């Protein structure tokens, strides 16, 4: 990105606030566990709880926040509500962060 684009982005307060909110969502270990679980497959709350070791109520609380920030979405499948990452960008952010941390650690 060139300097002119960066200057324009810095002046876009709404975008900057939304970006900070987006990255804030990744600042909790429970939410990261949920996102990593959903990166592999779509899951109902009970399965997310099993995979992450969190209580179902904690998972539901975090999923509510993740949905409000449009990081995950829910779909009804029969009698179950199944959660999944909202789109491939969320998975890409996770993968880039993991890649960065592995490089820094080695």
Answer whether CATH 1.10.10.10 is correct for domain 28-105. yes
Secondary structure letter of residue 1 according to DSSP: -
Specify the 3-state DSSP secondary structure of 52. helix
> Residue 85 has what pLDDT?
97
The H or E element spanning position 83 is strand 80-85
pLDDT in tens, the chain (106 residues): 566 688 888 888 898 999 999 999 999 999 999 999 999 999 999 999 999 999 999 999 999 999 999 999 999 999 989 999 999 999 999 999 999 999 998 8
Nearby residues of 34 by Cβ (< 8 Å), 6 or more positions away:
48, 52, 54, 59, 62, 63, 66, 72
> Residue 4 has what pLDDT?
60
The H or E element spanning position 59 is helix 56-68
Tokens of 80: 């179950």
Specify the 3-state DSSP secondary structure of 75. strand
């Amino acid at each position: 990105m060139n300097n002119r684009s960066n200057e324009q982005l810095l002046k876009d307060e709404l975008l900057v606030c939304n970006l900070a909110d987006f990255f804030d969502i990744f600042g909790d270990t429970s939410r990261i566990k949920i996102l990593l679980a959903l990166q592999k497959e779509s899951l109902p709350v009970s399965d997310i709880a099993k995979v992450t070791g969190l209580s179902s109520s904690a998972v539901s609380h975090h999923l509510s926040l993740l949905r409000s920030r449009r990081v995950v979405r829910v779909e009804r499948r029969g009698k179950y509500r199944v959660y999944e990452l909202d789109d491939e960008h969320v998975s890409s952010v996770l993968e880039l962060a993991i890649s960065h941390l592995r490089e820094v650690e080695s």
